[in-house]
Amino acid sequence: MSLSVRFAHRFGDFSLDVAFEAPAGVTALFGRSGSGKTSVINAVAGLIRPEAGRIQLGETVLFDAERRIWVPVHQRRLGYVFQEGRLFPHLSVRQNLTYSRWFAPRRPGESFDHVVGMLGIDGLLERRPAGLSGGEKQRVAIGRALLANPRLLLMDEPLAALDEERKAEILPYLERLRGETDIPVLYVSHSMAEVARLATTLVLMDKGRVVRSGLAHEVLSDPENVPALGIRAAGASLHATVTTQEEDGLTRLEASAGPLFLPHVDAPLGARLSIRILAQDVILSRTRPEGLSALNILPATVTAVRLGEGPGAVIQLRAGDDLLLARITRRSAQALELAPGADCFAILKSVAVAQSEVGGAG
């Protein structure tokens, strides 16, 4: 099932005019604060009624300004997960999870045991929300939303209230959800690390407009999108398989361009991972460097060069089957004669890759 969104709306001076498709999988809405992400979620949820446009989920038209169609919130069959879990404090986890089923249509949906197992909340069922950690509460909130048998899941900054440790604990469950459900998930976040890990589709927003949308890995690895993403957040993902846990604490992985050594990655041998490499953590050389402390040196070919307004340049490279981005100076780009087709070596410092940047390949 796919969600199709096209609408325009005005709040005072702020005008929102957006169009995008969200297929099954996780569609992340990404953009600066005030770019209109929550307003898009609210229009899809039926909390604001846009002035013009059309919103359709599968065969169901939720809103059509011209045909005066407007399905009210409670009939849209949406699951909504907010920043705070908003669980009922007086009910147990089990009662919180089953509560929404009273209102869900009597249709075979996600089974209770499946959802509880997928989110790892089997051990919490008899507890009250007050005794749960923030990450556990969010997992219960996601479970409750799924058990209402929704046709679309809306998640507005679901991890923003959690510390890094709790975020890291919950991300693998969201990756599982992405793999196991066939309903579209609209996911608002302003954390690029989260978006890069979870999104299958990415909608980049700026000042009430969609700047770019498409497959997440394509949008993220396109140097032309770097200004919209922010230079510090720019980067692309390498796919690699865990091959050895080494004695000195490093994990060896095999990417299609060659071996990679990262600080210990907690994943079984054979696991297929997606590793986000920030553009600012990649150094380029035209010849294979020797006597260098960096362990990760991948042969690559330049596929695109984007010279910035200032002294910087962003280079897109193909390394095996993956695309990488490197942020270097314009001066180095010229000195190294980096142009599409040029062969070079991408040098990645292994300690630069944070654990939060390593996720399951979706």
Ligand X SMILES: Nc1ncnc2c1ncn2[C@@H]1O[C@H](COP(=O)(O)OP(=O)(O)OP(=O)(O)O)[C@@H](O)[C@H]1O
Smallest separation (angstroms) from ligand X to the CB of 356: 20
Token couple for 282: 């990649």
Smallest separation (angstroms) from ligand X to the CB of 7: 13
Residue 292, φ and ψ in degrees, nearest 5: -105, 145
> Per 3-state DSSP, what percentage of the chain is helix, strand, and coil (rounded to 5)?
30, 40, 35
Complex with ligand X: residue 134 or 208, whichever CB lies closer: 208
Complex with ligand X: residue 35 or 96, whichever CB lies closer: 35
Smallest separation (angstroms) from ligand X to the CB of 210: 12
Complex with ligand X: residue 9 or 137, whichever CB lies closer: 9
CB neighbour list of residue 81: distance below 8 Å, 6 or more residues apart:
138, 141, 142, 145, 153, 154, 155, 156, 158
Number of H-type helices and E-type strands within the chain: 9, 21
Smallest separation (angstroms) from ligand X to the CB of 197: 19
**DSSP letter string, 267-279:** --TT-EEEEEEEG
* Residue from 303, 284, 305, 304 nearest 294 by CA: 284
The residues in 56-95 that bind ligand X, with binding defined as CB under 6 A, are: none
Residue 105, φ and ψ in degrees, nearest 5: -60, 150
Complex with ligand X: residue 38 or 92, whichever CB lies closer: 38
Complex with ligand X: residue 34 or 311, whichever CB lies closer: 34
The residues in 5-44 that bind ligand X, with binding defined as CB under 6 A, are: 11-12, 14, 31, 33-39
Complex with ligand X: residue 34 or 123, whichever CB lies closer: 34
Tell me how many residues contact ligand X (CB under 6 A): 12
Complex with ligand X: residue 157 or 281, whichever CB lies closer: 157
Torsion of CA 73, 205, 274, 341, to 10 degrees: 150
Smallest separation (angstroms) from ligand X to the CB of 123: 34
Token couple for 308: 């910035």
Q: Based on the shown chain and the rule CB under 6 A, indicate whether residue 230 belongs to the binding site for ligand X.
A: no
* Residue from 116, 119, 165 nearest 139 by CA: 119
Smallest separation (angstroms) from ligand X to the CB of 41: 8
Contact between 160 and 83 (Cβ < 8 Å): yes
* Residue from 244, 253, 185, 227 nearest 23 by CA: 185
Complex with ligand X: residue 14 or 88, whichever CB lies closer: 14
Complex with ligand X: residue 167 or 306, whichever CB lies closer: 167
Which residue is listed with tokens 């209102």?
103
Letters for 158-197 (x = contact with ligand X by CB under 6 A, - = none) are: --------------------------------x-------
Smallest separation (angstroms) from ligand X to the CB of 267: 32
Alpha-helical regions (H) of the chain: 37-45, 93-99, 112-118, 134-147, 164-180, 192-198, 216-220, 226-229, 330-335
Smallest separation (angstroms) from ligand X to the CB of 236: 24
Smallest separation (angstroms) from ligand X to the CB of 183: 22
Residues found near ligand X in the complex (CB under 6 A):
11-12, 14, 31, 33-39, 190
